[in-house]
Amino acid sequence: MTVDQNYLRYPRRRPGYDHDLYAWSDMHRRPPIGWPGGKALAIWPCIVAEFFPLTPTDTPFRAPGHMQTAFPDYRHYTARDYGNRVGLYRLLDAFEKRGIKVSVAINVAVAERYPALLAAILNGGHEIVAHSTDMNGTIDGSVSADAEAAIISDTRARWASIGQAPAGWLSIARSQSFRTADLLLQHGFTWMADWPNDDLPYRFANGIINLPLNHELSDRQIINVTQASADSYCQQIDDAAAWLADERGRMLPLQLTPYIIALPYRIGAFEALLDRLVARGDCWFATGGAIIDAAQAASVTGL
């Protein structure tokens, strides 16, 4: 029996992706770009400041790092709170010593509960990135359109009430639904950091820009998930910086969790890493928004 030829036809087959979310781009066809000052590599430090409610809702899923043991889980609750009471200040101090401006992806609940922490971030000239409401504000494809819109709109409204209007958004666990990119744009966000599929920003067809925040190189993934040491984490960042700098015109994101990398037995290794990256002389440290602006000015493919 001969197979009907229509069985073999797929109307959306084309070079690259079989979707219209954003254009396909071959890395080897991209011309090298120079970041400001002729630097070979842009480094994007992104601190993640989170508030974990004592009771996880588990709807639609439990956020990474959430409570683990029987209620009330004071052990994990206070360990996470260490990041906001101590760890984040250590990281801000580390970057201030080296004159580096960073992004802080922050639950709006952190800004509301700890105004002194928000003031320290803003007074340091750092960039705010919206990171949902709190660590119960998770999204995936099972969340209704109204519920997802409520999370995003509530986050935006609460930031506005304290006088801020972040341009960027980072979803919890980088988890989205099929409608998230459209909803973010509708509620005033111009870029997001959820899709870690490149080393440069690119634009979706709907107009929103994705600034890839590499998951495999996050301190959580390397130190907590793979159980590597802080020295191993730093070596992997050194290796990534060397490789990306050789390719020229790439971006290296540093996703940093204050209750992980800023513990007293890890922060020294991290500060030594910063010194090595600065000493290279070919790295440009910048906020997410500054990297997007520079990429657009350099006519990066996809923007």
Which band of pLDDT confidence, cut at 50, 70 and 90, is reported for residue 158? very high
The stretch 18-30 carries a mean pLDDT of 85
Report pLDDT for 302: 80
Mean pLDDT (the chain, rounded): 95
Report pLDDT for 299: 82
pLDDT at 80 over 70: yes
Cβ neighbors of 196 (< 8 A, separation 6 or more) are 174, 212, 213, 214, 215, 216
Instruction: Set out the domains of the chain in order of their start, with CATH numbers.
Output: 37-297 (3.20.20.370)
What is the C-alpha end-to-end distance of the chain, expressed in Å?
Answer: 49
* Span 199-256, pLDDT tens digits: 999 999 999 999 999 999 999 999 999 999 999 999 999 999 999 999 999 999 999 9
Residue type, 210: N
The pair of three-digit structure tokens given for residue 89, joined into one six-digit string: 């200040």
Residue type, 226: T
pLDDT at 138 over 80: yes
Report pLDDT for 186: 98
CA angle 220, 222, 226 (to 5 degrees): 105
